[in-house]
Every structure is written in C-alpha cells, then in structure tokens.
Structure 1
Amino acid sequence: MSFPSQRLRRLRQSAAMRGLVAETRLSAGSLILPAFVREGLSEPSPITSMPGVVQHSRDSLKRAAAEAVEAGVGGIMLFGVPEAHDATGSGAIDPEGILNVAIADVRAEVGDDLVVMSDVCLDEFTDHGHCGVLAEDGTVDNDATLELYAQMAVAQAAAGAHMLGPSGKMDGEVAVIRQALEDAGHVSTGIFAYSAKYASAFYGPFREAVNSQLKGDRRTYQMDMRNRREALAEVEADVLEGADMVMVKPAMTNLDVLADVAEFSPVPVGAYQISGEYAMIEAAAANGWIDRRASVTEALTAITRAGATSILTYWATDAARWIREDA
C-alpha cells in the first residue's frame, strides 16, 4: 500500500514528542479558585453535592488561599454565605458582613500574591434568592438593584478586593459599578464581568454551597442557552461600560460561545467550570468509571483550547499542582 509522505502519527509517538508540539498548554497561573465562606463556622463544612469542596470558616479560607498561592494558582473568587437573609440582601453591603470581612482576611493573608476577586451579586444574601431586589409584582427590579450593586462594589473594594465579579446579569451593572468605584477613589479595582452567563440546569450544587433561598428561576435576566450571537452583544456592552475582563459561564455547554467571545473580545476572556460539571466528574471518578486526574485535565484543556485565558475551577489548587508535577 502506498502512503503519502506526511504521516501525522510521527508527532504522537512519545509523551515528549506530544509535549513538544502541543498547541494548548495549561498554566497554573491562569486558574482561579472559587471559594465559599460561611458566617459563624468554626470549622469548614462539607458540601454534599460537591465532594472535596467546603463552606469555609474564616480561618480555613485563609489556609486555602495560602495553599493556592503555594500551588501557583492565579486568583481566588470569594462567595459569602450569611446567617441571616432579608429582602434587600443588606448583609452584602455591611462592611462587617461575612463576604467583606473575608475579603479583608484573604487580602491580609496573601497580599498581592493572589488576585483576590469577589462576587458582586445579591443572591446569597436575599431571602428570596434572586440576584436583585424585587418589584411589587415579584419581578427583579433592574435599576433599584443597580443602586445596591454600586454600594456592594465599593464595600468590596474598600475591603481589599483586587477585582470584582458582577454576576447578577442586570443591564448596566458594569457601568454603574465602574462609576461608583471611580467616585469612591477605587480607580485600580478591576471588573471581571459575567458577560455571557447563561441560565443552566447545572448550577444545582452551587445553590447548596451558598445556602440559596431561591424561589422560582432566573431566566428573565440570565441568558437563554439557545442564543449564540447574543453573547457578543453582551460582551460588547460590558467592555464599553468598563469591564477589564469578561466571562463565559457555564464553560462545558458553551465552548462554541467561548471560542466566539475569545475571537471577538478586546479584553481577556475567562470561563467558569461550574458546580454541576465538578459534581459529575467527581461522581463518575468515585464510581471508578473515569480517571479523575485525566478527566479534569482534559476538561480544562478543552476550555483553554476554546480560548479562555483564565478558568474558574474548583480543582484550581489540585490542577495547579498537577501542572507543576508534569512540567
């Protein structure tokens, strides 16, 4: 049999050869660790739907942040879980609220060795679980919510966050937050916008993690997963409003969107490997159906290959250590 002169298998014959020509390379510094801190805890509390992930106490959160630095992780995204909830999510604005004190704790622990990020959203703090305040008819009031986001953003910046992650999907949120930061003198605080954030069935474990009080769903403000071009409009709007980075969420079901955004965006593009993705891989690995490390690495590589320059992943510290071991 006659073969063409180009045999593509030549470049696959050993691990060294495959590594030499690899087009996509994972970097520990591109990983961001999402972390939950719960008010009133003295010890970390396991999250049953996310084996290996916990609701941290303030002390255990500091240890996790230090471990992330040691592993070479690039950033940490903090989510607060308060003991009390109310209609306006007032704990999110309180300088002594759990998220704001946790930001200060972590910043004091790691300084500038880790990019300290924080979630700008009211869903963890409201007694109805929505990302904003409700109007009389029960819908989320976009503009009233923006006023609270502005206050929340300033409180987080004052606590020491390097970068804020507005995730509520209110129209105009980036512009309002940017203006509030400028007015308060926090001109160096970055904004990592959840620009292409889709409503998803895979958020379930996260809701356990933040003790969500959600009644109903968020489909009137999170994106419809059937829409692809709309993501570019969202990204364009957020960049014009002052976003320093943009995000696609969830990563797993939106790799096509991620590729579109990576090609289109003038600012760095991140992706969130969400709780449902984490839970599925951990469950399959625990049953011996897949290899955990290989599966996690493959998933992270796919997200990177699609165009993400940073990835929020609950495996950030583990994956960073694996990358160093393989270097």
Structure 2
Amino acid sequence: MDKQSLTDPMPVTTPASTFSIEPVSGSSTLRGRLPLRRFLQRQPVSPADLCMPLLVHENEDAADSVVPTVSLQRLSVEVRELRRMGIGSVKIFCGGSVRDDRACEAASPDNLMNRAIATAKEAAQDMAVMTENCLCSYTHAGNCFLTNADGVFDYEGTLTLLSEQAVQQADAGADIVGPAAMIDGVAASTRQALNQSGHRDVGIMPHVIFTSRLYDGYRRAMNAVPARGNRRAFQIHPSCPEQAVALARDFLAEGADMLLLEPALHSLDVLVSLRQAAEVPLVPFSVSGEYAELTRNGTLKPSEYRAVLLERLTMFKRAGATTIITYAAKQAAGNLEAS
C-alpha cells in the first residue's frame, strides 16, 4: 500500500440524498440533518391544550368586535364544533343586561352567564367550562367591585357578592370559576362558599392581571369599559413582576387550584418563575389585543398568521403553560389536526 492511499479520505459511495443531508456548513450536529431534527423536535401543543374564550351576547354577535363573539342562540353549535376539533375547554364571558350600583344581576340564577354555562355543558358535557367571576359587567360604573354610599370600596360586600356569584355559576354547571377582581381574600372566600354549597369539586382559578391596554378590544365588545377611573388600584403594573408572583402565592395559600396569567405575552417571566416554584396548573390568557396584533385587527387570513400563532403557543407551553386561552384556538386546533 503506498503512502498516498493512507492519507486520502475514503470515497463516499452512498448518495447524500439518502440521508437527506442539506448544505449546512458549520451547523450544529443536532440541527444539520433533517432526520436528526425530526428525532429531537417535540410537538408540545395539542388541541386539548387550548381553551377558547367565548364572549356571549344575549341575541346578536358583536359585528364590529375585533375578537370573536357568539350569541346565546348559537352557543351550543359553537361548543359542539370546538369539541369536535378536540379543544379541551371554553372560558365564558357575558355582559350583564341589567346594571345597578349593587350589581344585583351578578348573582341572579337566571342571568346570561348562568344560562350560557348550562347551554355549554349540555352541548359538550365532557368539555371543561371556565367562567369569569367578576362584577364589571353588572355595575353602573363598570367597576369590578362595589362601593358604599360615599363611593368608598366596599370590601366585605364585594367578597360576599363574588362568592354568591361563584356558587350560582357552579350550580349552573361550571367546572372552574375564575375570580377576576384581584381582591385580597377572594380565593379563600370563594373556596369557602363553594365548599359550603356542596361544590368541593369545582376548581378555582384566580386571575393574575397586569395593567394593559391590550384588554381594550374585549372591553369594547362586552361593554366593560369603566365609566370613570381605572383598575390600577387592583391590577399590577407591568414593571412589577415580583408583585404578580407574590399575589399568585397568596392565591394558592388561600386555596386556589390553578392560576390564570394575563396578558400572556406580558406574563412570560412570571409564568417561568411560577412553574419553577409551584406544581399547579398555570394558564396564560392571550387577550384581545394580542389577537388583534396577530391578525392585524382581523384583516389577515388564518393562513397568513398560522406560523406565528403556532410559534407563540409553543413558546407558552415551553415556558410552563398547562393550558393556553386564545381567541385563535379554532385556527390553531385546525392546523394542529392537519399536522
């Protein structure tokens, strides 16, 4: 054997196309070959991981809304379609048709929320139904709390009414009630009321909310814009993630079973922190402003924002989400089914 034959590389006899080798000069071993990428790539999101928010109106859909809405008459059809697509849950929001200073309609057994809950459960009994447990759709001022005759926050009255509202929602068939008023003690009072009324198996998912303009589309669609003032005394400034983590821990200590974080994109650092610290379901809510940005206020076709949508959902799951609430749940589920 001569010297040249010892130094020359062995010839490659197998065509490169057999291994799907791509021109990847300098690429990582883990990413250079298509089969290896497929071997390592995860499919972290399934339709069952998604929750569709349903903004229910008494009669007609809100035609000018940037987010999808549905009438009570169409609700059962919508829920059955979501169930057929494999979507695991819905979160129901309803506007109050009757408003007064004491938000009396909030705890009425026959209000729109309770009828919507019953309709959804009848349409798909095995689908988890979440609610919003709040007063902003029932007070004249659009506030999430009650005030006394002097206009001062009525803490005890607010907790009592929110607890009554939660019990009525559970009676109607809700699987998870969602205290959204960001009031100290609301998880404890809700848990006590549910237990005393025979609903120990109904979950509580308080909202951990950052102040944001990303809720504007929802508020317009549901007529929930505060008539005066704002909710900054209750919600958390975006610069204070430590307050969100502390509040989440307080809610869990009070008996919360899971936590909702919103807006989803503004809560990623909190989601990661809580996932490392707490073994409970964590549910980011991609709110109306995020949906508007994704779809360019509804002007894009689903095929035009599909890739970004799936990337975001993957990011939320990677950060620790158990379930993701998104107005694009149907579009995402359709693409996940196809893939």
Same fold (TM over 0.5): yes
Cα distance in 2, alignment partners of residues 17 and 125 from structure 1: 56
Cα distance in 2, alignment partners of residues 180 and 47 from structure 1: 38
- Say yes or no: does 1:36 pair with 2:55: yes
State the Cα deviation string for residues 185-205 of structure 1 (Å, max 9, x = none). Answer: 1111111121x2111121100
Distance 1:21 1:47, change over 3 A: farther
Partner of 1:190: 203
1:151 to 164, 178, 181: 164
Partner of 2:73: 59
Matched ranges for 1:84-103 at <5 A? 84-103=98-117
Q: Which runs of 5+ in 1 are unaligned?
A: none
Q: Which runs of 5+ in 2 are unaligned?
A: 1-24
- What's the CA shift for 1:136? 4.1
1:77 to 82, 91, 95: 91
Partner of 1:206: 218
Query: Secondary structure at 2:205's aligned position in 1?
Result: strand
1:170 to 180, 183, 203: 183
Query: Secondary structure at 1:120's aligned position in 2?
Result: coil
Matched ranges for 1:1-327 at <5 A? 7-8=27-28, 10-11=30-31, 13-14=33-34, 17-23=36-42, 25-39=44-58, 41=59, 43-50=60-67, 53-54=68-69, 56-112=70-126, 114-194=127-207, 196-214=208-226, 215-283=228-296, 286=299, 291-326=304-339
Query: Secondary structure at 1:271's aligned position in 2?
Result: strand
Give yes or no for contact 2:210–2:266 (8 Å, CA) kept in 1: no
CA-atom RMSD, angstroms? 2.1
State the Cα deviation string for residues 158-202 of structure 1 (Å, max 9, x = none). Answer: 0000111111101100000000001101111111121x2111121
Cα distance in 2, alignment partners of residues 47 and 234 from structure 1: 35
Task: Please say which of residues 170-179 and 128-137 is displaced more in the overlay.
Answer: 128-137
Give yes or no for contact 1:232–1:264 (8 Å, CA) kept in 2: no
Query: Secondary structure at 1:309's aligned position in 2?
Result: coil
User: Where do 4+ consecutive residues of structure 1 move more than 4 Å?
Assistant: none
State the Cα deviation string for residues 236-259 of structure 1 (Å, max 9, x = none). Answer: 111111111112111112211111
- What's the CA shift for 1:19? 4.1
Structure 1 or 2, whichever has the larger Rg, is: 2
Give yes or no for contact 1:44–1:60 (8 Å, CA) kept in 2: no
Which letter does structure 2 place at the counterpart of 1:192? M
TM-score w.r.t. the length of structure 2 is 0.87
Distance 1:80 1:287, change over 3 A: closer
